[in-house]
Structure 1
Amino acid sequence: MDFTSEHRHDDGVLERDFALGDIPGTLWTTGSAPAPLVLMAHNNGLPRRDARLVARARFHAATYGYAVASIDAAGCGDRPRTAAADQLRVDLRRAMQAGEPVDEIFEAMVGPMVDDAAPEWRTTLDALLDLPDVAGPVGYSGWMALGIRLAVTEPRIAAAGFFAGGFVPRAVRAEAPRVTIPVLVLLQWDDEGNPRQRALNLFDAFGSVEKTLHANPGGHLGTPRFELEDGARFFDRHLR
């Protein structure tokens, strides 16, 4: 892991970009003592520099003292995109504008994205836990499809907070009963692009003894700010 830049913010958070082979990422920390790690991923592979993800990361680091890390999935953010992936995005926009079914396009786009991203996140986790200011146990926050895959394949992840606003491929939905770690799911009740019943079915399928669902009225981008604090307290219960 090579750190390529760093910036100390006014809130005391040290933001460092890194490269791990072809994988670009960012690590947010405060202080030099080892801190529990939270991995953060945006729904359906949105870039790690997205303002909403950065705000969540800095909040967890500055207010609760976590080390927080995110990487760009293949074809997203700072990574080169393929012609095939760009075509799928064009097909998706066209289908949505025409009011046509989009599940099969999402399957073709998101399924391979999860398959490619999960091993890269595990490789990144190996490197992060070798750093002197990062420690386990590890939490996960964000993209539900990726989080389910990591929860069933990565034993170092002790708790997961899922945003129920992204498409979850069929193969990943089938893995939901194998999720046994504590789970917190955030659901926007009126999310225009994600049927709530599908999210409720997934929540019901999780095999976790401790699982909590927070449902709030509003559309996809309407998650209340207080959920940031509730999410951090959820991690405090399981990572400290």
Structure 2
Amino acid sequence: MHFTSEQRLDDGVLAREFTLGEIPGTLWTTPESAAPTPLILIGHNGGLHRREPRLVARARHSAANGYAVAAIDAPGHGDRPRSAADEQTRADLRRAMRAGEPVDELFESFIGPLVEKTVPEWRTTLDALLSLPEIGGPVGYSGWTAVGIRLAAVEPRIAAAGFFAGGYVPRAQREEARQVTIPLLLLLQWDDEGNPRQRALDLFDAFGSKQKTLHANTGGHAGTPWFEVEDGNRFFDRHLK
């Protein structure tokens, strides 16, 4: 892991950019926190960048609460190059959604392979993060549901997870949800325009966890209220501290 820059933010949080091979990432910490600190991994999808303001706000809030927080750009996201095939699939998805056409198979062909590529990169990043003296675990995961399910199923170091019930979850990860037994917090936007509500409820049912909580709020896809970030920190406090 090679740190390429660092910036002390006005809330006392230290943001450090890093690279790990081809993987670009950001690590947020509060240097005054007692080391070693627990770690939260933040996953994002939808073509977003790890510097997207909502993600950064979540990361800073958790770091100020005594966590090390890390995000990486998945293949084809943020700073990473997109292939011509990826661009074509994204264009096909936008066209189909505008036309009201079925999109499940397009999502399956795009998100499924992306999960297969991203989870090994997260595990490599986790190895590197846990080798830093200021980070000691335990480890939580927050964000992109499809990647989070696979990561929680295969990575025993993940102790708790918070998922956003938006975005397509491939069939393989819906089956893998039964293998996920760690404590879970699932956030659902009741009026999410692009994600069928019943599908999210069925996914919540499928998880094998004995400790799982569903928070549902009115509003569209990007309307998750800020107090859910605060509740999410309390959830991680219960299971990581």
TM-score, shorter chain, exceeding 0.5: yes
* Pair 1:231–1:71, CA change in 2 (3 A): same
Aligned residue pairs, count: 239
TM-score, scaled relative to structure 1: 0.98
Equivalent position SS for 2:185: strand
- TM (norm. structure 2) is 0.98
Mapped to 1, the partners of 2:203 and 2:114 lie a distance apart of 20
Match of 2:162 in 1: 161
Q: Partner of 1:101: helix, strand, or coil?
A: coil
Unmatched tracts of structure 1, length 5 or more:
none
1:39 — aligned with what? 41
1:43 offset after TM fit, Å? 3.3
- Mapped to 1, the partners of 2:45 and 2:80 lie a distance apart of 17
Partner of 1:127: 128
| Residues in 2 aligned to 1:197 and 1:46: alpha-carbon distance in whole angstroms | 25
CA contact (8 A) 1:45 1:72 kept: no
User: How far off its partner does 1:49 sit?
Assistant: 1.2
* Offset at residue 45 of structure 1 (A): 5.2
1:73 aligned residue: 74
Residue 202 of structure 1: aligned partner:
203
Partner of 1:13: 13
- 1:27-66 equivalence runs, <5 A: 27-31=27-31, 33-44=35-46, 46-62=48-64, 64-66=65-67
Q: Aligned-residue CA RMSD in angstroms? A: 0.8
Shift in alpha-carbon separation, 1:114–1:44, aligned structure 2, 3 A: farther
1:44, 1:143 within 8 Å by CA — same for their partners in 2?
no
SS across alignment from 1:28: strand
Cα distance in structure 1, aligned partners of 2:202 and 2:107: 19
What is the rounded CA distance, in whole Å, between the counterparts of 1:235 and 1:218 in structure 2? 25
Query: What CA distance in whole angstroms lies between the structure 2 residues aligned with 1:172 and 1:157?
Result: 16
- What SS does the corresponding residue of 1:43 show, helix, strand or coil? coil
